Amino acid sequence: MLRSVFGAAVWSRRRSLAWWVGGSFVYLLFLGSAFPTIRDNAGDFEEMLESYPEALRAMFNMVEGVSLSTGPGFLHMELFSLVLPLLLIILAVGFGARAVAGEEEEGTLDLLLAGPISRRRWLAEQFGAMAAVTFLIGLANFVGMLLAGAAFDLGLDSGKLAAASLGVVLIALVFGSLALAVGAVTGKRGLAMGVASAAALAAYLVFSLAEVVTWLGTVQKASPWYYYAASAPLLRGMEWVHAGVLAAIALALPVAGGVILDRRDLAV
């Protein structure tokens, strides 16, 4: 039996982790294999994209001057603008909601906390496990993209790719931490997942539509998605201030949740 909450939380997800890693490699190699066709027909694809409404172009974070004929431009639009962060957010939100609220709803949390472990330590180790699992998936994605890049001549810069991969992990942890905190405060798994999912959708829409909805521009920087997407790290490299903002949010939410968890009665 594993002695730490962290170890038990990671070990209990070993099978799903293996599926995530395997699925990521398959998907990324498949996506990479499509690049030569996209590159050879980039003019037609870009003409089609130019015909899209401005709002739709904004939602896919189409950066001016970025071409589908380059590997970074292709991955920026096809993977990093929405698909990859969405997948990791789903993973982290599910983990965060299950970590405390799931155990409480199943009536096992009070038994697990009967041992010599504080509620705050329990929450901290669950957050650590969530961060570790999310980081491992992010690392698998990074390696998978490096292999796809080498196999299909995407011309990727490893430093910029690492920055973009880290950004995906951080934005996923922001909403995973929100689910963890809401679960710690309420003890309700469904509510934790709902709040975190709604917040992720709202953050994405506020950022992506700010260019076409004037009043959203005034609140765009309040959206965590701004600090993930605005700097386009796959194209421009790491923006450390933005990464620091995401990391601070991801750390602050469990701390706040732990304060309330420490004081409230648990459901039994």
| Residue 68, helix vs strand vs coil | coil
Of 161-165, 229-233, 241-245, give the lowest mean pLDDT range.
Answer: 229-233
24 pLDDT higher than 50: yes
Q: What are phi and psi of 63, to 5 degrees?
A: -80, 135
Structure tokens at 155: 């011309």
Tokens of 3: 């002695």
What amino acid is encoded at 68 in this protein?
L
In sequence order, the 6+-apart residues with CB closer than 8 A to the CB of 186 are 101, 192
C-alpha 86/C-alpha 182 separation (Å) is 20
**Which pLDDT score, from 0 to 100, does residue 56 have?**
64
Lowest mean per-residue pLDDT among 42-46, 123-127, 176-180: 42-46
Cα–Cα distance measured from residue 48 to residue 99, given in angstroms and rounded to the nearest whole number: 44
| pLDDT over 60 (residue 73) | yes
- Residue 71 CA to residue 49 CA, distance in Å, equals 17
Closest CA to 168 of 250, 95, 259, 45: 250
C-beta separation of 220 from 210 below 8 A: yes
Output 27 or 69, whichever has higher pLDDT.
27
DSSP assignment of 21-47 equals: HHHHHHHHHHHHHHHHHHHHTHHHHHH
pLDDT tens by residue, 159-188: 999 999 999 999 999 999 999 999 989 889
Report CA Rg, the chain.
20
pLDDT for 49 beyond 70: no
Average pLDDT, integer, range 82-89: 94
Query: What is the pLDDT at residue 1?
Result: 43
Q: How far apart, in whole angstroms, are the C-alpha atoms of residue 44 and residue 67?
A: 12
Task: Name, in order, each residue with C-beta under 8 angstroms of 226's C-beta and a sequence gap of 6 or more.
Answer: 206, 207, 220, 242
Percent share of the chain, pLDDT over 90: 47
pTM of the predicted structure, to 2 decimals: 0.90
Measured distance CA(93)–CA(219) in Å, rounded? 24
Q: Which of 46-50, 127-131, 190-194 has the lowest mean pLDDT?
A: 46-50
pLDDT of residue 142: 95
Asked which of 30-44, 98-112, 249-263 is least confident by mean pLDDT, the reply is 98-112
Distance, in Å, from the CA atom of 107 to the CA atom of 268, rounded to the nearest integer, reads: 5
pLDDT top residue among 245 and 16: 245
For 181-212, the pLDDT digits (tens) are 999 898 899 999 999 999 999 999 898 888 77
Question: Quick check: 162 and 45 in contact, CB under 8 A?
Answer: no
pLDDT at 60: 65
- Find out whether 99 and 128 touch, Cβ atoms under 8 Å: no
